[in-house]
Amino acid sequence: MRKQKGFSLIELLIVVAIILIIAAIAIPNLMRARMAANDSSAAASIHDINIAEAAYYGAYNTVGFPATLVPLGGAVPCTAGIATACLLDNSLATNGGGSGKSGYSFAATGSMGPGSIINNQFYATGTPLSSLTGTRSYCAFEDLVIRLQPAGNITLVGSYGACQVLNPMNN
């Protein structure tokens, strides 16, 4: 009798089944790890926006806070000025060209508070693009404290006042 070389069909099916079981265990953990990384990146981006807003306010105190994120950035090579302050990475300042950064969409709005002639208030937001890219929304205003929605709430923090009532992020 002649011996056949190779694997039988049942042996191949067992190997494929084992690989599928391992993938079923590993993929959800990888997704959770990616979402955690996106959340950390979003908090860091809000921190970067806070620092850039404060620096802009200090450098251009006749203007106050910029009306949007765009003036905080600037294309490379960047020349600092009111329209392009070069304080923030341009991909964050332009919100990734509309596609966000690390699964989050970012915005910042400068406004005039009561009795002011310059933008003396701002609030910044970081919102997941979907429930698969992040677990919560972030915001901050001119006190520079990062605040966050409860876990699972991925809706945009809709206003300056809504941001003020959220709990600060613990370090």
Question: For 43-86, how does the pLDDT look when each residue is reduced to its tens digit (9 = 90+)?
Answer: 999 999 999 999 999 999 899 999 999 999 988 898 999 999 99
The dihedral over CA atoms of 58, 63, 66, 71, expressed in degrees to the nearest 10, equals: -90
Q: What is the mean pLDDT of the chain?
A: 90
49, part of any domain:
yes
For residue 151, the model assigns a pLDDT of 85
> Does residue 96 surpass a pLDDT of 80?
no
Domain assignment present for residue 1? The answer is: no
In the predicted model, is pLDDT for residue 2 greater than 80? no
In a domain, 117, yes or no: yes
- Residue 74 has phi, psi (to 5 degrees) of 155, 140
Residue 167: Cβ-neighbour burial (10 angstroms; 0-12, 13-18, 19+): exposed
**Residue 4 included in any domain:** no
**1, pLDDT greater than 70:** no
Q: Are 124 and 49 in contact (CB under 8 A)?
A: yes
Distance CA 148, CA 135 (A): 10
Q: What is the pLDDT of residues 121-137, one digit of tens each?
A: 999 999 999 998 999 99
Which alpha helices (DSSP H) does the chain contain, by range? 9-59, 90-93, 160-164
Domain assignment present for 138: yes
The C-alpha atoms of residue 123 and residue 69 are separated, in whole angstroms, by 10
- When divided into structural domains, the chain yields a total of 1
Residue 171 reports pLDDT greater than 70: no
Residue range(s) defining the domain that contains residue 55: 9-168
